[in-house]
Amino acid sequence: MAANGALKVNAHLQVEGFPNVFAVGDCADVSEPKLAYHAGLHAAVAVSNISNSVTGKELTSYHTGNVTMMLAMGHDDGVGQFNGLKLPRCVVALAKSRDLLLWKSWREMEQNQP
Ligand SMILES: Cc1cc2nc3c(=O)[nH]c(=O)nc-3n(C[C@H](O)[C@H](O)[C@H](O)COP(=O)(O)OP(=O)(O)OC[C@H]3O[C@@H](n4cnc5c(N)ncnc54)[C@H](O)[C@@H]3O)c2cc1C
């Protein structure tokens, strides 16, 4: 474990010393903001690496992309940044505040929003 209690991982998100164990999300010692968004990206890499390790293919590496942050502040307001650039409040409100990205969860679950 790292000093903060997170699990040390390599670029393939394998836990140090345990090649068959992958760590994703907040528990993984990756130097980036701890976000659900990042946890999803980790999961995609871990899933493909589990499959690749079973089939003997080369493992994929995880790289932090542009750091994006959107904070909803009620239905019609919000603040955010993309790769260090401040986003206009109306853009955050339109993109996130109105429905808190629920459409994304429905899509990922392959369900139609009622
Ligand atoms: C106030 C707040 C706002 C946030 N806003 C955003 C945002 O807008 N966008 C974004 O992308 N991210 C946001 N985050 C970060 C996001 O919530 C986390 O990065 C994400 O939840 C991490 O997911 P995880 O599955 O790795 O861990 P968690 O969601 O923490 O899940 C870990 C689970 O393990 C359980 N657990 C712990 N110990 C044990 C045990 N011994 N046995 C069994 N179960 C155990 C916990 O109860 C928990 O349910 C926010 C976080 C906070 C606190």
Ligand 1: lining residues by beta carbon, under 6 Å: 25-27, 34-37, 39
Examine the domain organization and report whether 61 and 76 are in the same domain. no
Q: Ligand 1 centre from 110 Cα, in Å?
A: 23
Examine the domain organization and report whether 22 and 37 are in the same domain. yes
Domain that holds residue 85: 68-108
Q: What is the pLDDT of residue 67?
A: 83
What are the structure tokens assigned to 11, written together? 């670029």
Q: Ligand 1 centre from 28 Cα, in Å?
A: 12
Q: 28-45 as b/e, with b when 16 or more CB fall inside 10 Å?
A: bbbeeeeeeebeebbeeb
Examine the domain organization and report whether 8 and 51 are in the same domain. yes
Examine the domain organization and report whether 12 and 55 are in the same domain. yes
Compute how many other C-beta atoms are within 10 angstroms of the C-beta atom of residue 65. 11
pTM: 0.87
**Torsion (CA) 30, 32, 33, 37 in degrees, nearest 10:** -80
What are the structure tokens assigned to 87, written together? 């986003």
Mean pLDDT of 57-74: 92
Q: What is the pLDDT of residue 84?
A: 86
Mean pLDDT of 80-95: 94
- Non-local (6+) Cβ contacts of 32 within 8 A are 38, 64, 67
**Residue 42 and residue 54: Cα distance in Å, rounded?**
18
Examine the domain organization and report whether 14 and 49 are in the same domain. yes
Atom 28 of ligand 1: nearest residue by CA position: 26
Q: What is the pLDDT of residue 48?
A: 98
Contact criterion met (CB below 8 Å) for 36 and 86: no
Residue 93 lies in a domain: yes
Q: How many domains does the chain have?
A: 2
Mean pLDDT of 91-109: 94
Residue 101 lies in a domain: yes
Position 65 pLDDT exceeds 90: no
Convert the pLDDT of each residue in 5-62 to its tens digit. Answer: 999 999 999 999 999 999 999 999 999 999 988 999 999 999 999 999 999 999 999 9
Q: Ligand 1 centre from 36 Cα, in Å?
A: 7
Position 68 pLDDT exceeds 90: no
Examine the domain organization and report whether 79 and 28 are in the same domain. no
Residue 95 lies in a domain: yes
Residue 15 lies in a domain: yes
Examine the domain organization and report whether 16 and 48 are in the same domain. yes
